[in-house]
Chain A
Amino acid sequence: MDSGDTAFMLIATAMVMLMTPGLALFYGGLVRSKNVLSTIMQSFICMGIISVLWVAFGYSLAFGPDVGHFVGNLDYVGLKGVGLVPGPYSETIPDLLFCAFQLMFAIITPALITGAFAERMKFSAFLAFAVVWSTLVYLPVCHWVWGQGGWLGAMGALDFAGGTVIHINSGAAALVAALVLGRRKGYGRDSMHPHNLPMTILGAGLLWFGWFGFNAGSALSAGPIGVLAIFTTQVATGAGVLTWVIAEWKMQGKPTVLGAASGALAWLVAITPGAGFVSPVSAIVMGGVAGVLCYFAILPFWPRPNSAMTILSTWLGSMALVVSGGRLQPVFLPQQS
């Protein structure tokens, strides 16, 4: 056990926790004023639901001993045997701390999906969806990629901090949810401008800050990989902001605040799987690509821009890059010493 690594992971865990209220503010600012609280609540309540679910059986299904390369078994139900000594996933931090860090990831993933069905889903239906979705989708996928014996991880698929587990996952779920629920009443007819952009920027700032914990913390140690991850996260996100804003400026005439926030989010998502694997210059290049891709992903929805669809498209566009990023990683890998 290492006190430095443990101190770092405690802080990183707290930072990732802050991302969910940050996301609530980010989404809350984007909706119309009559739906602010319902949108914030859908993210915030995940901190309640998923925390309990995680202790009850979530951690066990995701990280418990492998069953058929598909899911964890029930050995860790009630966090039985998850103690204060290093476990199977890290040699230098307590098992319980790894569990807490992973809990924060499990919380934010269903919260991310809420952006797609903002302003029109029943709260009770959302609660049911969050519980069942986390159980049937998040936990197994998390096991496939990160759990010991998971088939994707065994195949050699790399996902540094959750591009597949969190963002492809939430993006795909968001797509399905938006298709099933249908459009909002008045969509395309009424104005659906964000009711409070400063709130959105505050949320984006908290997300950006928390993302350092998300990506650097995924190194699980206070060492060189964490440093690389924090640096690539920062410069790539900067490049994403610039690219999105410039694309907007050229194609629609004005650089917008919403564009700057969207560009930041798009690349925070897109750098996540590669953060600890690529060089800073590669990160900037990939950041530019993410900005452009996600920007074009929302173009079909112009000239009636729509916050919920923008959110969805940000994740969808990023998904495309995450997939290609997964392919690109081997190319960039030699640069990582």
Chain B
Amino acid sequence: MDNPVCHWVWAKGGWLAQMGVLDFAGCLVVHVTCGAAALAAVLVIGPRRGYGRTSFMPHNLPMTLLGTGLLWFGWFGFNGGSALAANEVAATAFVATHLAGMAGMLMWVAMERFVMGQATTLGAASGAIAGLATITPAAGFVGPNAAIVIGLLAGVACFLAVRLKSRLKFDDSLDVVGIHGVGGVVGTLCLGIFASTSVNPGGVDGLLAGGNGAQLIKQAIGVVVVGGYTLVVSWILLKVIDATMGLRMTEEDEVVGLDSIEHSETAYNN
């Protein structure tokens, strides 16, 4: 499914691209699709055994922080490289990426402190990824100040989405919907608000730069179409897999753990 969506948005002749929907480095193509597919998967596969009753604590947060660092590092390639040149647009995207990751992290941690009393390392990691995912579509089209605002918005929106998930008892194990899905939607819409041709002459003016509401509407259509298409196709695909080869581990196997059942391995030994 990613292949057709990628064609719609980025390929010559893709219909969303022709309509004028912009996606600098793959927010619609990567984050909205993965977020929507994750939502479908959560709905089809159901919660883990014991979800909501027993605590599922991360087993190794330093590993998560290391992974976050590698993602942040690689994201410069993802967004900066999407300029396809070593030029001003790449520099714009690079700076926007870093500032949004920073702002997302700070805002998430502040929300945690404000709402729950303590700022956590997991929150810092989640906020950074939220900011990075959210700036992705806009990275080459907005200036540094707008990037910070977008990062702050990501911190708020994704934090609330993850809270909402807990309220609704959706078992999105690692918050793909809340971070990539919501971040992708916010970022794609923010492009329609904050984009400015003074930053990237090859881009567009959004709502704030030129009072151009049309771009925001185009971006919203992109979100609805891509999100809807991905949700439906993913749901059907997962149902087909469920009906043919089975989707879910048996209850006993899930209790034992997938490592030893699926791979005959355990991560840590003496």
> Which of B66, B263, B266 gathers the greatest number of chain A CB atoms within 10 Å?
B263
Please give me the residue from chain B that is nearest to A193 by CB atom.
B269
Q: Which B residues touch A198, using CB under 8 A?
A: 60, 63, 267
B251: CB under 8 A from chain A?
Answer: no
Instruction: Find out whether the CB atom of B66 lies under 8 angstroms from the CB atom of A254.
Output: no
B55: CB under 8 A from chain A?
Answer: no
Contact partner of B270 (CB less than 8 A), chosen from A195, A202, A254, is A195
Cα distance, A226 to B97, chains bound together (Å): 27
Cα distance, A253 to B265, chains bound together (Å): 12
Cα distance, A193 to B268, chains bound together (Å): 9
A153: CB under 8 A from chain B?
Answer: no
Cα distance, A2 to B147, chains bound together (Å): 34
Contact partner of A197 (CB less than 8 A), chosen from B70, B265, B270, is B265
Please give me the residue from chain A that is nearest to B261 by CB atom.
A254
Cα distance, A34 to B269, chains bound together (Å): 11
Interface residues on A, range: 10 to 19
Instruction: Find out whether the CB atom of B63 lies under 8 angstroms from the CB atom of A257.
Output: no
Cα distance, A254 to B260, chains bound together (Å): 9
Chain A: minimal CB distance from B181 (Å): 25
Cα distance, A196 to B267, chains bound together (Å): 6
With contacts A198-B63, A202-B66 taken as known, whether A255 is within 8 angstroms of B267 at the C-beta atoms is: no
Q: Which B residues touch A335, using CB under 8 A?
A: none
Q: Which A residues touch B70, using CB under 8 A?
A: 205
Contact partner of A194 (CB less than 8 A), chosen from B60, B66, B263, B269, is B269
Contact partner of B264 (CB less than 8 A), chosen from A34, A191, A196, A253, is A253
Interface residues of B in 110-151 (CB under 8 A from A): none
9 additional A-B pairs beyond A197-B266, A198-B267, A253-B264, beta carbons within 8 Å, are A32-B269, A193-B269, A194-B269, A198-B63, A202-B66, A254-B264, A254-B265, A255-B262, A257-B265
17 A-B interface contacts by CB (under 8 A): A32-B269, A191-B269, A193-B269, A195-B268, A195-B270, A196-B267, A197-B266, A197-B268, A198-B63, A202-B66, A205-B70, A253-B264, A254-B264, A255-B263, A257-B263, A257-B265, A258-B265
